[in-house]
Amino acid sequence: MKTLRLLPIVLVAVTALLLLKSIGLITQGGYTLLGTDVAQAQEVNSQTPDAAPNVEEGQVEQLSAIEEAAAQRAADSLFSSVNQPIRDNGQVDALPTLENEDGEISEFGNADGVSLTEQALLQRLRERRAELDAREQAIELQENLVVAAEARLNERIAYLQAIEAQVQALVDQQQAQDEGQFDALVSMYANMKSSDAASVFNSLNMDVLLRLAIKMSPRKMSPILADMNTERAQQLTVRMATAQNSSVQTQAAIDQVSPDMASLPQIVGQ
């Protein structure tokens, strides 16, 4: 009994489905069950390439108004981000940097329109200026050291000259004292009797005797020499003659080496 009630319903449904299928084949899918454009657009997009109608070569497929609107919206959505202006977030592009020999890093360009070549040249000039300043300071330091060393050397020379003057003064004083004592000795032998002086001279050292004989006047020395031993008197005579010749030769050598003052060029005052 239940089967008899369902059968007419099934037949009606099958008939309606066949009718709709036929209408769809005739209208090429232009019908819709809901009657809205959205359903048609979804059905068109869901079709596979195999189900699309074949387009002959050289012909352009005609798009419906719905498809054109959908394509326009897709194009606007795609190119909207491209056409938007770039927003300024306050950031700028980083400039290239340059590292010098000391390891210091500086910008290789600036916003003043200076080229990179000019920047490199200016950087090199600054480094060269720093090198020249350092060299100038080193030279000044060396000059100061030389001046200080020269001052110390002059002080040392002055000190040595003062010591030399003191020593020379002492030597001259000692020589004067010795000469005074020797002159007193010469005067003593000159005032003695010739025989007494001759007896002393016979046993006296030859160097001391020679010095005494040279210092003593010939008038006083001649009687003493006559009273001396003959051999001793001969030796003293030879030594006196040799000493006199040596003095003459020394003076001649000095005169030969010393230039004639008259032959020297004269300095005429301005």
> Do 152 and 129 sit in the same domain of this protein?
yes
**CA-CA distance, 246 to 241, in Å (whole number)?**
9
Same domain for 170 and 136? Answer: yes
Same domain, 230 and 169: no
Answer yes or no: is 185 within a domain: yes
In this structure, the answer to whether residues 146 and 207 fall within a common structural domain is no
Q: Please state the φ and ψ torsions of residue 76, each to the nearest 5 degrees.
A: -65, -40
pLDDT at 51: 42
Give, in order, the Cα–Cα distances in Å from 222 to each of 184, 218, 219, 233, 236.
Answer: 19, 6, 6, 10, 12
Partners of 97 in the β-ladder: 107
Read off the pLDDT of residues 111-145 as tens digits, 9 standing for 90 and up.
Answer: 455 678 888 899 999 999 999 999 999 999 999 99
Indicate whether 94 belongs to any domain.
Answer: no
Q: Tell me if 224 sits within 8 A of 194, measured CB to CB.
A: yes
Burial class from Cβ neighbours inside 10 Å (0-12, 13-18, 19+) for residue 213 reads buried
Q: In the chain, how many domains are there?
A: 2
Q: How far apart are CA 240 and CA 246, in angstroms?
A: 10
**128 and 158 together in one domain:** yes
Mean pLDDT by 10 residues, the chain (270 residues): 63 81 70 46 46 42 64 63 55 58 61 74 92 94 94 94 94 88 88 89 89 89 90 90 70 54 44
SS3 226: helix
> Which pLDDT belongs to residue 24?
74
Same domain, yes or no: 183 and 227: no
Q: Does residue 64 belong to any structural domain of this protein?
A: no
Residue 43, in any domain of the structure: no
Domain-located, residue 95: no
Specify which residues 98 forms β-bridges with. 106
Q: Which of 191, 208, 237 is the last residue of a domain?
A: 191
Compute the distance between CA of residue 42 and CA of residue 67 in angstroms, rounded to an integer.
Answer: 11
Confidence (pLDDT) at 146:
94
Could you tell me if 154 and 184 lie in one domain? yes
Give, as one character, the DSSP assignment of residue 261.
Answer: G
**Residues 176, 200: one domain?**
no
Query: What is the residue range of 141's domain?
Result: 119-191
pLDDT single digits (tens) 235-266? 989 988 888 776 655 665 555 545 444 444 44
Q: Which two tokens stand for residue 72?
A: 């326009």
Give pLDDT, residue 94. 57
- Is the domain of 181 the same as that of 198? no
Is position 86 within any domain? Answer: no
Would you say residue 229 lies in a domain?
Answer: yes
Q: What is the pLDDT of residue 28?
A: 60
200 lies in a domain?
Answer: yes
Residues 6+ apart with CB under 8 A from 120: 98, 108
Alpha helices in 192-262 (DSSP H): 194-203, 206-215, 218-227, 230-257
pLDDT for position 169: 93
